[in-house]
Structure 1
Amino acid sequence: MTATGADQDAAGTQVARRSWWWWGRRRSVVLDGALAVVSALECGLEGVGFAEQASLPVPVGVLFGLVVGSVLLVRRRWPITVVLVSIAVTPAEMGYLMGIVGLYSLAASEVPRRYTAALAGMSTVAVYVVTVVRMRQDVAQADAGQPDFDPSGWYVPVVSIFMTLGLNAPPVLFGLYIGARRRLMESLRERADSLEQELSLLADRAEQRAQWARQEERTRIAREMHDVVAHRVSLMVVHAAALQAVALKDPQKAVRNAALVGDMGRQALTELREMLGVLREEVPSPSATSAPPGSPPPSAPSGPSAAVPLAAVGRAAAAAAEAAAAEGGPCLDALEALVEQSRQAGVVVELVVTGERRRYGAEVEQTAYRVVQEALTNVHKHAAGAEVVVRLAHREAEVAMQVENGPSAAGVADADLPSGGNGLVGMRERVSRLGGVFVSGPTDAGGFRVSAVLPVEARSAEAAEPATS
């Protein structure tokens, strides 16, 4: 038998079946019990007349009526059974309340509509036939002395139709309305639950994106700081060691080394100040720019929304770095000066450039410069006294760079510079972000080689102008 909404309350809420059999709530048990008691009493009283007509003992008729009326107790679980019983006892002229409530429960349940229509039609026909027969008997007895009045004419059928529709149509229509309303409420509740789950999923994804953005910006800022400071400080340490070695033997060379250390320290401080200045800049939010003058400033964001200012700072830092490269900062034109600084530190460096020099996008220029710079920094840290070859190749659709050093010189003392192990990782991240290829590893001769290839067609200076304008 199809479920009939027995597990639903009056509002249509699906509830768990507890110890109340098929009822969801205690008030449903009370309501159905009260209706069953009233129906049983009604059928018991009507059983007296049924017993007289059927020539049965009155207690048998009353007992039959009580049993028939109590069937209403199962109206939520088996509404079809209740309607069939009410149709069966219609000729006995009993069970009017059971028929009305049964039709309502059937129409409001989840029983297929074809079954509901068939049972409602059967009940209507049964009530109509019984009403016609009963009215003909009553009219015949009342008007036996009036030969001009014919009860089999239009009066009895028309009145019987109105009485039948009055008994059957309201409960069926009201039950259909309640059932449709219940299904609508369930549909709206399911949609609300679905929307709530979707919003929760979107919130989780937003939190993941915010966490990813925070981590990405931290990595980017750390990479920028590493590239800005590590090379200068490494050269300063190398020059300081050379200064200590020649301070007594060659005062003139010591003076030159001291001047170089000072210049590099000032350059490192300048670049560090520029980077920290970008990080300290306040990024205006859309709400702040659209606020009227004199309005109070918005409160600081917290939670997942705190990633928005951090991402904006990271974008501002990247934009500042690109602007610095475009204005003559770290770019390929500064490679000669970069190599010369390493030469002044006592490293033998050879710079080999092939191909025709072209202007590339600011990000490509800065990335190429940082790769060579970090490779030379690693030479100062790990390969003291090694000979270095820096190769730069300008090709049709890409720019390639390679820094290769030989084994460390046996007679040269190590500068004992600390290493965090992030140099190669940072270079790989920079190159991969531009869609390039990065390869690093030891050579057969005992040295180390760093190679990178960057695509330049999509990030040329001419192609970048519309995006930045």
Structure 2
Amino acid sequence: MSERAWSPVSGPAGGPRVPARLPVRKDLSRGAGARPAAGGVDVERATRLQAEMTARAGRLKAWFGGVNPYVLDTLLALASAAVSAWAVFCDNRGWPWWVYLLAVSTAFSLPWRRRFPGGAFLASGIPALALSIVAHSAQPQVELYGVIGIYTLANLGRDWQRWSMLAVLVVANILGTHSVNGMLFSLLMSVGSFVFGSVVREVRRLAQLERERAHEVGLRAASDAARAVAEERGRIAREMHDILAHAVSLMVIQAEAGPVVVRSDPDRAVKAFDAIADSGRDAMVQLRRVLGVLKEEGTGPVLAPQPKLAELAAVVERVRQAGIEVELELAGLDLPGQRTIPADVEAAAYRIVQEALTNTVKHSGADYAVVRVARTAMALEVEVADNGLGVTADPSKAVAASSGGRGLIGIRERAAACGGRAVTGPGAAGEGFLVSAELPLGA
């Protein structure tokens, strides 16, 4: 590229390419301080759900937590045995002792019903069947052992055990009773116990699903929060890099030039030191802007506005003071009837130009650069080109691409954060270095 020649290009042939459009979380790219949306996860609902489940578990523990289940089931077994023995005694037929033993044995397995629901049901059902055959009238009106056993198997048993039990109960109640009223009552007791146990089983299953869902939501919320923190740290790192790299590069160049001319050209030396001071003050203002978002919530930091494209003139002027002639062209930014450029797009364009000029000052060896920012109907186009070393065949001279690596990555990240793209590489005819970005203005 000649000293004064400039030909806008959209990107060098064979140069770097990035995806045309990347999906980006706009709430994170526009600034810090806002609570992330967590990818659609309702963090407050997850927290509330976990608190409700903890409260329910606490109430259940308060009601039953102090009672050993074996003690409770043993008391139920004693009550069932007493009811069965009392029914035999009240039958007034003078049943022998072994009938009493048979009636009481129906409750022997109840203390182990939770651990072995199927086995406990069979251990109660066999003596109950024998009692029904040899002393049908001596059975209690409400068979407590049967109600407990059916409920337990319906609640805790395996599916094949539950449905097999239900089928056997229905057939036995229909064929084993001596009257229609007795059949209906037996069906009501057995099927009702089965239904009640099934309802408790389903409630427990739903509660487990809610606990798992709450745990999963909590994990997702924590993951999204960690990802949001990482993205925000990356955003702040890019801001810090752009501010400090630009300011320090200009300060170093001016500081090196000042002592050389302090005797031969005092006015130029004074201007160099003034430029150092101006760069330092500008860097401090921008650092306060970035670091202000890290203050604790509620402290009310007063933040300066995001950088504007109108401020590029000051950036260009500081680069000129560093000895590089820069031409700035701003096209179509303030036409009547246009809506305002989004703040994140304007800030990204400012930083891209700033970083490109920083690389030009630090690495290119150029004495001339052109900055063009043009607004089209759908996008903001940014191009920065210089006449420096660019990307050459000599690796030691390819400073623009290698030494400025972090800055070029930051340029591409900033463009992607706005849903756009950035291309960096050789300028026209392979001379100099070009940074070209296209930032969509949104709907």
2:142 and 2:345 map into 1 onto residues whose CA distance is 86
Match of 2:440 in 1: 455
Alignment of 1:404-415 (within 5 A): 404-408=385-389
Alpha carbons of structure 1 residues 332 and 115: separation in structure 2 relative to 1, 3 Å: same
Please state if 1:370 is matched with 2:351: yes
SS at match of 2:430: coil
Letter in 2 for 1:118: V
Alpha carbons of structure 1 residues 345 and 107: separation in structure 2 relative to 1, 3 Å: closer
Letter in 1 for 2:226: Q
Structure 1: which 5+ runs fail to align? 1-23, 51-60, 129-160, 285-312, 459-469
Offset of 1:198 from its aligned partner?
1.4
2:296 and 2:403 map into 1 onto residues whose CA distance is 30
Please state if 1:428 is matched with 2:428: no
Letter in 2 for 1:185: V
Number of residue pairs the alignment of both structures matches? 337
CA contact (8 A) 1:331 1:369 kept: yes
Alpha carbons of structure 1 residues 95 and 336: separation in structure 2 relative to 1, 3 Å: same
TM-score (norm 1): 0.57
Match of 1:229 in 2: 244
Deviates more, 1:205-214 or 1:61-70: 61-70
TM-score (norm 2): 0.60
Letter in 2 for 1:222: A
Please state if 1:77 is matched with 2:130: no
Deviates more, 1:385-394 or 1:205-214: 385-394
Q: 1:122 aligns with which of 172, 175, 179?
A: 175
Please state if 1:201 is matched with 2:216: yes
Offset of 1:335 from its aligned partner?
2.6
SS at match of 1:77: helix
Match of 1:388 in 2: 369
Alpha carbons of structure 1 residues 384 and 225: separation in structure 2 relative to 1, 3 Å: same
Q: 1:264 aligns with which of 279, 283, 292?
A: 279
Match of 1:349 in 2: 326
Structure with greater Cα Rg:
1
Q: 2:423 aligns with which of 426, 439, 459?
A: 439
Could you give the per-residue CA deviations for residues 375-406 of structure 1, whole angstroms, max 9, x where no partner exists? 00011121133532222233222221111223
SS at match of 2:283: helix
Alignment of 1:18-417 (within 5 A): 76-77=121-122, 85-86=130-131, 88-89=133-134, 96=139, 104=147, 108=151, 109=153, 110=162, 111=164, 113=166, 115-125=168-178, 165=182, 173-277=188-292, 279-280=294-295, 282-283=297-298, 320=303, 324-325=305-306, 330-354=307-331, 357-358=334-335, 360-408=341-389
Letter in 1 for 2:279: M
Could you give the per-residue CA deviations for residues 163-214 of structure 1, whole angstroms, max 9, x where no partner exists? x84xx87776555454443333322222222211111111111211221222
1:230 and 1:455 map into 2 onto residues whose CA distance is 27
CA contact (8 A) 1:225 1:275 kept: yes
2:250 and 2:360 map into 1 onto residues whose CA distance is 11
Offset of 1:222 from its aligned partner?
2.5
Letter in 2 for 1:402: E
SS at match of 2:365: coil
Alpha carbons of structure 1 residues 206 and 34: separation in structure 2 relative to 1, 3 Å: closer
CA contact (8 A) 1:103 1:172 kept: no
CA contact (8 A) 1:106 1:116 kept: no
**Which one scores higher on RCO, CA 8 angstroms, separation ≥ 6?**
2
SS at match of 1:349: strand
1:337 and 1:201 map into 2 onto residues whose CA distance is 51
Aligned-residue CA RMSD (Å)? 4.6
Alpha carbons of structure 1 residues 89 and 282: separation in structure 2 relative to 1, 3 Å: closer
Offset of 1:260 from its aligned partner?
2.0
CA contact (8 A) 1:232 1:268 kept: yes
Letter in 2 for 1:220: R
2:184 and 2:420 map into 1 onto residues whose CA distance is 78
Could you give the per-residue CA deviations for residues 214-260 of structure 1, whole angstroms, max 9, x where no partner exists? 22222222222333332122111111111133233333322221222
Letter in 2 for 1:121: I
